[in-house]
Amino acid sequence: MDFDILFEKFSQLVLESQSFAELQNVKAQILGKNGEITDLLKSISSLSIEEKKTFGASVNILKNKVEDIVQKRAEHFKDEETRLKLETERLDISLPLTPLSIGKIHPITRLMMEIENFFKPQGFTFVDGQELEDEWHNFDALNIPHHHPARQDHDTFYVKGSLKSESNQRHVLRTHTSNTQIRYLKDHKPPLRMISHGKVYRSDAIDATHTPMFHQMECLVIEPKISFAHLKHTIQTFLEYIFGSTNIPIRFRPSYFPFTEPSAEVDVRCISKNNQLIFSNEGNWMEILGCGMVHPNVIKNCNLDPNQYQGFAFGVGLERLAMLKYGITDIRQFYNNHPDWINHFGSNPLCI
């Protein structure tokens, strides 16, 4: 048997194959179960020992050589496929991007995130408050007596029905986040630093500066030796952080809250320019938050000894802060869900 001729024949078959599939067929014909070389290998067993040696060796050499060229041909098809792919799938980097449509973070949410960024590293715990509250936690415990105007029907949303309450009192939609002071103080032993933010409700008119629902943030610190100076510093640095400036005209004006003594309101000075509020030493004072040293009665109402514990608290309307920060002039815009508005005033979530 002339193995050279055989090899010539097989390599021609292999080289004539025009695709990977064709090559597989040719390979099966030669090396498959009933392939020609396989048949030759099978025939070895019927030969004499001498013949086995020479014939067997030649068949194996032939088999290896054919396998080699099959493999080379397969690689050729693979390369060819890659080349074609590269050619047809060439990237056109000059093509404009498909516009990516992503949502924006609402300015109030953004503000809440910034509040967390400021207070968390200072050891404040963030707590969720409850919006449906009983009168005791919303008013009584905060030393707000029954005759206080905030308890009149026109300010407070009272909730009908017989909801179970610890103190068997009526329920209200909380009028401020100060209810979280009480709930937290009752459950935690000082020293403590707490922040809570969320929705509050007041039966107000709806106009450019009022809506029946808005957001507040509450801060409470009860620690030994806490003074009004700590309160002032905290508020000053907080406002500087939120507005990104150390040049904000701020004043603390004596005021009255039943749950703090002494109490103050904080004003910032700004002017209205091109429909925007801008901090300015020539402007009018605008109230932005209420604060004070926690009233001893509040500490007592939470079963703590006011001779042992003292601290400060403040509460701030988030819409007010956001209006000043972003130059928003009408509070109602926060809740209109107007796509153009949120696109303009919202923040890109990928850039925060």
Q: Among 107, 129, 190, 290, which residue interacts with ligand PHE (rule: CB under 6 A)? A: 290
| Residue 114 beta carbon to ligand PHE: minimum distance, rounded to whole angstroms | 19
Tell me which residue of 221, 172, 214 sits closest to 197, measured CA to CA: 214
Using an 8 Å Cβ cutoff, are 94 and 183 in contact?
A: no
Q: If binding is defined by CB under 6 A, does position 124 make contact with ligand PHE?
A: no
Q: Is 125 helix (H, G, I), strand (E, B) or coil?
A: strand
| Total site size for ligand PHE, rule CB under 6 A | 10
Residue 298 CA to residue 138 CA, distance in Å, equals: 12
Query: Which residues inside 246-265 make contact with ligand PHE, applying CB under 6 A?
Result: 257, 260
Q: Which residue is nearest to ligand PHE (CB)?
A: 315
Q: If binding is defined by CB under 6 A, does position 345 make contact with ligand PHE?
A: no
Tell me which residue of 204, 215, 16 sits closest to 113, measured CA to CA: 215
Residue 307 CA to residue 303 CA, distance in Å, equals: 12
- Contact region with ligand PHE (CB under 6 A), list: 49-57, 127-135, 157-165, 286-294: 286-294
| Residue 93 beta carbon to ligand PHE: minimum distance, rounded to whole angstroms | 56
**Helical residues (DSSP H) of 219-314, grouped into ranges:** 228-243, 296-301
- Count of beta carbons in the 10 Å neighbourhood of residue 187: 10
Measured from the CB atom, the residue of 79 and 287 that comes closer to ligand PHE is 287
| Residue 278 beta carbon to ligand PHE: minimum distance, rounded to whole angstroms | 25
Measured from the CB atom, the residue of 59 and 319 that comes closer to ligand PHE is 319
Q: Which residues contact 149 (CB under 8 A, 6 or more apart)?
A: 155
| Residue 340 beta carbon to ligand PHE: minimum distance, rounded to whole angstroms | 32
| Residue 96 beta carbon to ligand PHE: minimum distance, rounded to whole angstroms | 51
Residue 108 CA to residue 114 CA, distance in Å, equals: 10
Amino acid sitting at position 254 = P
Q: What is the dihedral sign for C-alpha 243, 128, 230, 228?
A: positive
Q: If binding is defined by CB under 6 A, does position 222 make contact with ligand PHE?
A: no
Measured from the CB atom, the residue of 314 and 334 that comes closer to ligand PHE is 314
- Contact region with ligand PHE (CB under 6 A), list: 22-30, 131-139, 151-159, 287-295: 287-295
What x-and-dash track marks residues 166-185 binding ligand PHE by CB under 6 A?
A: ----------x-x-------
- Contact region with ligand PHE (CB under 6 A), list: 131-139, 163-171, 272-280, 285-293: 285-293
Residue 69 CA to residue 155 CA, distance in Å, equals: 92
| Residue 107 beta carbon to ligand PHE: minimum distance, rounded to whole angstroms | 20
| Residue 202 beta carbon to ligand PHE: minimum distance, rounded to whole angstroms | 9
Q: Among 13, 268, 291, 302, which residue interacts with ligand PHE (rule: CB under 6 A)? A: 291
Distances in Å between the Cα of 325 and the Cα atoms of 9, 220, 244, 246, 278 are 85, 24, 9, 14, 9
Residue 60: its H or E element: helix 57-88
What x-and-dash track marks residues 292-331 binding ligand PHE by CB under 6 A?
A: x--------------------xxx----------------
Residue 74 CA to residue 19 CA, distance in Å, equals: 9
- Residues lying near ligand PHE in the complex (CB under 6 A) are found at 176, 178, 257, 260, 290-292, 313-315
